[in-house]
Copies of this chain bind each other. A is one copy, B any other.
Amino acid sequence: MRLSSYFLPTLKNSPREADTISHRLMLRAGMIQQSSTGIYSWLPLGFKVLKRIEQIIREEQNAAGWNEMLMPTIQPAELWYKNNCYNDYGPEMLRITDRHKHNMLYGPTNEWQITDIFKKHIHSYKKLPSRLYHIQWKFRDEVRPRFGVMRGREFLMKDAYSFDIDRETAKINYNRQFMAYLRTFNRLGLKALPVNADSGLIGGKMNHEFVILADKGESEVFCQKDWLNADVNIDKFDYNENLQPVVDSYLKRYSATKARHDPVNCPIELGNLINLPCIEVGHIFYLGNKYSEPMGARVTCPNGRKKVVHMGSYGIGISRLVGAIVEAYNDKNGIVWPEKIAPFHLGLINLSVDDMTCRTASEDIYTKLCSAGVDILMDDSYYRPGVKLAIMDLIGLPWQIVVSPRHAVNKIVEIKNRRTGKREEISVEEVLTRFAPANQALT
């Protein structure tokens, strides 16, 4: 992509409305723009990151055995009338009346709807387990949206669901998602750990939040001191094996969210207990029959009798993750993307676009890297050199290639690693072998 034809409205100064580092940097890097309170447009750079994260989550959900589908954003209110949930949800639910005076709502979550779909089609134990997920925009009318996309009103979420014949098989699916979450966050470059949590409005009998530590986190985890030592670099494993021992190894240390933590009955002595600011990035629930019982989601068992199914629900806040990752990966000059979710793998900066030598070298590198499948942003703008370098640091691509008049005559460019700041002068030829190894797409 050429910067001259890319919509990248970076800002030199921090917008006043931003209340966290990630919010400021996302606005300054031209990733998002506020549409109304807690609702954002994702400009091209932000959109690319959102899609990269979404794709990693999708791949891991598929690998864990879930089927992707898509439920609509607008749900009929009737789905929520069971157990008085429609009223209990309170003003966070965006209620809508359509032209025919039907009560509708913008889905804040999809447990009722997925149970409705399940019960219309699945009637026998032979079709279990059933595993479905979708990635869809949701709406919660927060009274005070803040932290940019981290606590927005319209937000993108992956929510998965499982249906099983009993508690034991439901636990198998719960464990699959538990492992899928460790793998997913690991691939995203995040150390996200499971924490015992409060089940809130979703309900259910067992649940874990996945949190990442962050100085300005809006939540708090109470845990024993060595909780942070848990190793999340899990190797390959087989989803069909018994995952309970691995899951247990993560849960053996005490941890609890603030809402869940009970100082009086905490089993950890005070000297060994710490509390840390964190950001919630995922939440998994074993729901039992909270939704299936009132909805009448039953299947025929081998003995011919009907049985209410056991459900699980598993969420990851995708748009919130973009903010959380920026909150975790930045320095004084801007964002520092982990390689796998960077919007472009590298930025090619032509410092002097009117210089024919620079232009020829830049175009040559650009063309060759593009055709090798490297996703690259070339700054071919007329900005001053200092501005160019500042913008490239701000948007935080993992690598920079700088083409300057001084070096271009000798077919030399400077490369810089954004994270380490380490610079090297290498030949144009070497750029190609370094960043576009034969037969290996980097992005």
| Residues of A bordering B, CB below 8 Å | 5-7, 9, 30, 33, 35-36, 39-44, 46-48, 50, 65, 67-76, 91-92, 94, 96, 98-99, 102, 104, 106, 113, 117, 120-122, 126, 130-132, 134, 137, 139, 141, 143, 153-154, 382
| A367 CB, min distance to chain B CBs, angstroms | 15
Q: Are A72 and B41 in contact (CB under 8 A)?
A: yes
| A321 CB, min distance to chain B CBs, angstroms | 15
Q: Which B residues are CB-close (under 8 A) to A36?
A: 74-76, 102, 104
| A371 CB, min distance to chain B CBs, angstroms | 15
Q: How far is the CA of A92 from the CA of B99 in the complex (A)?
A: 8
Write the chain B residue with the least CB distance to A91: B99
Q: Are A69 and B98 in contact (CB under 8 A)?
A: no
Not counting A5-B65, A6-B67, A73-B137, a sample of 15 additional A-B residue pairs whose C-beta atoms are within 8 angstroms of each other reads A7-B132, A9-B121, A9-B122, A33-B117, A35-B74, A36-B102, A39-B72, A40-B72, A41-B113, A42-B71, A47-B69, A47-B134, A94-B96, A96-B96, A96-B106
Given A7-B132, A94-B96, A35 contacting B113 (CB threshold 8 A): yes
Q: Are A35 and B96 in contact (CB under 8 A)?
A: no
Give which listed residue, B30, B75, B134, contacts A35 with CB less than 8 A: B75
| A44 CB, min distance to chain B CBs, angstroms | 4
Q: How far is the CA of A322 from the CA of B302 in the complex (A)?
A: 39
Q: Are B42 and A69 in contact (CB under 8 A)?
A: yes
Q: Are A71 and B154 in contact (CB under 8 A)?
A: no
Q: State the copy count for this chain.
A: 2
Q: How far is the CA of A113 from the CA of B70 in the complex (A)?
A: 25
Q: How far is the CA of A31 from the CA of B372 in the complex (A)?
A: 37
Given A5-B65, A36-B102, A102-B36, A70 contacting B47 (CB threshold 8 A): yes
The 24 sampled A-B contact pairs (Cβ below 8 Å) are A5-B131, A7-B69, A7-B121, A9-B122, A30-B121, A33-B121, A35-B72, A35-B76, A36-B74, A36-B76, A39-B72, A42-B70, A44-B69, A46-B69, A47-B68, A47-B69, A48-B68, A50-B70, A74-B106, A74-B153, A74-B154, A96-B106, A98-B153, A106-B106
Q: Are B67 and A44 in contact (CB under 8 A)?
A: yes
Q: Which B residues are CB-close (under 8 A) to A98?
A: 94, 141, 153
Of all A-B residue pairs in the complex, the 7 with the closest CB atoms, nearest first, are: A9-B121, A36-B76, A42-B70, A91-B99, A44-B67, A41-B71, A99-B141
Q: Are B143 and A99 in contact (CB under 8 A)?
A: yes
